[in-house]
Amino acid sequence: MTTSTNGNFDRTPLIAGNWKMNMDHVQGITLLQKLVWTLEDAKHNFERVEVAVFPPFTDLRGVQTLVAGDDLPVAYGGQDLSQHDSGAYTGDISGQFLARLGCRYVLVGHSERRTLHGENDALISAKVAAAYRHGLVPVLCVGEGLEVRTAGTHVAHTLEQVRAGLEGVSADQAAQLVIAYEPVWAIGTGEVAGPADAQEMCAAIRAELEKLYGAGTAAGVRLLYGGSVKSANAASILRERDVDGLLVGGASLDAAEFASIVRFEHHLVTE
């Protein structure tokens, strides 16, 4: 096997852990401390492979305090945000609040938001706009369900989600974008899209971005794969040219396992 990944990293790989509704604020701090200790012990180069975590909202103040206090080289973000900036929206969280907590990123349109909370493309596009208004980098999540995959229309379906989610986004804004391709049938199921599936979709998304914004802008956008990623399959997915990182759910709750995913280059050399 060759050790070339992403054309020698045209873009800085991003390994992101979405904790979903796991880890209270005390557990979250412990997990993050363990993760950083493990990576620092392994002499991980955080500039070469960026690490980000997406804790529950209630953990974010503690995460901010830890990251700022110990000057940890880890980014973090919210799992969702409101399309509104403030007002009578009980239970919602403004992008302004996330920005004040030092968030760099925010997930938008995760499939669990789409399916469990009925989020549609119009709402997701409004949330992307809200992220940009508050200086947050949106991680726009897209991907097809099993029926669409079986029908063979997964590429068209996913590109439609990309176009809809980016409605009104300028080329300057798009330059900082992150898009996560997460086939719904592979999330939390143990089913993993093969590296070729991930590459097929990421290449199609990059080509679509080139159509929308021009090759110069699209070249900087990072495309992540998500869905039952583990240390055992991370390296093979990241070998693919258009896959620039991973959005990891379940496996990000175990510091050693997540650290091993972050250290995927080590697997590339030893596989």
Ligand X SMILES: O=C[C@H](O)COP(=O)(O)O
Joined together, the tokens standing for residue 91 give: 């239970």
Q: Which residues of 116-130 are buried (b: 16+ CB within 10 A; e: fewer)?
A: eeebebebbbbbbbb
Task: Pick one of 5, 18, 125, 260: the residue that binds ligand X (CB under 6 A).
Answer: 18
Task: Pick one of 193, 238, 250, 268: the residue that binds ligand X (CB under 6 A).
Answer: 250
228 belongs to the binding site for ligand X (CB under 6 A): yes
- Could you report how far apart the first and last alpha carbons of the chain are, in Å? 8
49 belongs to the binding site for ligand X (CB under 6 A): no
Residue placing its CB nearer to ligand X in the complex, 137 or 218: 137
Residue placing its CB nearer to ligand X in the complex, 130 or 187: 187
Max distance between CA atoms of the chain, in angstroms, equals 56
Residue placing its CB nearer to ligand X in the complex, 162 or 193: 193
Segment near ligand X (CB under 6 A); pick from 33-41, 181-189, 205-213, 260-268: 181-189
User: What does each C-alpha distance from 102 to 33, 75, 95, 99, 189 come to in angstroms?
Assistant: 18, 9, 11, 5, 32
Minimum separation from the CB atom of position 52 to ligand X (A):
12
Task: Pick one of 52, 166, 229, 255: the residue that binds ligand X (CB under 6 A).
Answer: 229
Q: Is 211 annotated as a binding residue?
A: no
Task: Pick one of 55, 138, 165, 226: the residue that binds ligand X (CB under 6 A).
Answer: 226
* Site track for ligand X across 104-123, x = CB under 6 A: ------x-------------
- In sequence order, what DSSP letters do the residues of 117-166 get, joined into one string? S---HHHHHHHHHHHHHTTPEEEEEE---HHHHHHT-HHHHHHHHHHHHT
Residue placing its CB nearer to ligand X in the complex, 88 or 116: 116
Closest CA to 201 of 169, 253, 250, 237: 237
| Helix pair 231-238, 195-213: axis angle to 10 deg | 50
Task: Pick one of 130, 205, 234, 248: the residue that binds ligand X (CB under 6 A).
Answer: 248
Minimum separation from the CB atom of position 28 to ligand X (A):
16
Task: Pick one of 247, 259, 261, 268: the residue that binds ligand X (CB under 6 A).
Answer: 247
User: What is the dihedral sign for C-alpha 150, 152, 156, 162?
Assistant: positive
Query: 219 with 178: CB under 8 angstroms?
Result: no
Q: Is 182 a catalytic residue?
A: yes
**Residue pointed to by tokens 């991930």:** 198
Residue placing its CB nearer to ligand X in the complex, 54 or 213: 54
Summarize as ranges the residues that interact with ligand X (CB under 6 A). Answer: 18, 110, 182, 187-188, 226-229, 247-251
Hey, which residues are catalytic here? 110, 182
